[in-house]
């Protein structure tokens, strides 16, 4: 069991033609390499920046359902099931 893993899921500048690696993909690949489970028990977004919760930008890949983009935590969750996404501020977000 992996007790705790902290990752920063950074998104490279979407207008940068040399920036090929997306943070969510490299984070998911790293988690798969060190976590023996096929899922993540708990995930938490530390703060509300688009590189953490996800964002919309030119070139962002959409999920198979087309309902969201695969950036930030949504991109990780698309590659590795997340059982519980902890929302640290609902409903006030203060």
pLDDT in tens, 20-46: 556 667 778 888 888 878 888 888 887
The helix/strand count (H/E) of the chain reads as 3, 2
The closest of 32, 52, 55 to 44, measured between CA atoms, is 52
Percent of the residues in the chain that have a pLDDT greater than 90, as a whole number: 11
Tell me the two tokens of residue 71: 């950036």
Domain boundaries, the chain: 39-94
Cα–Cα distance between 31 and 72 in angstroms, integer?
Answer: 14
Cα–Cα distance between 68 and 77 in angstroms, integer?
Answer: 12
pTM for the whole structure: 0.70
Q: Which residue has the higher pLDDT, 94 or 77?
A: 77
């Amino acid at each position: 069991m992996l007790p705790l893993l902290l990752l920063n899921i950074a998104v490279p500048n979407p207008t940068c033609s040399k920036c090929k690696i997306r943070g969510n993909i490299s984070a998911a690949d790293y988690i798969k390499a060190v976590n023996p489970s096929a899922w993540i028990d708990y995930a938490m977004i530390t703060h509300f920046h688009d590189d953490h919760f996800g964002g919309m930008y030119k070139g962002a890949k959409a999920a198979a359902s087309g309902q969201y983009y695969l950036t930030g935590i949504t991109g990780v969750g698309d590659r590795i099931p997340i059982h519980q996404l902890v929302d640290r501020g609902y409903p006030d977000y203060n």
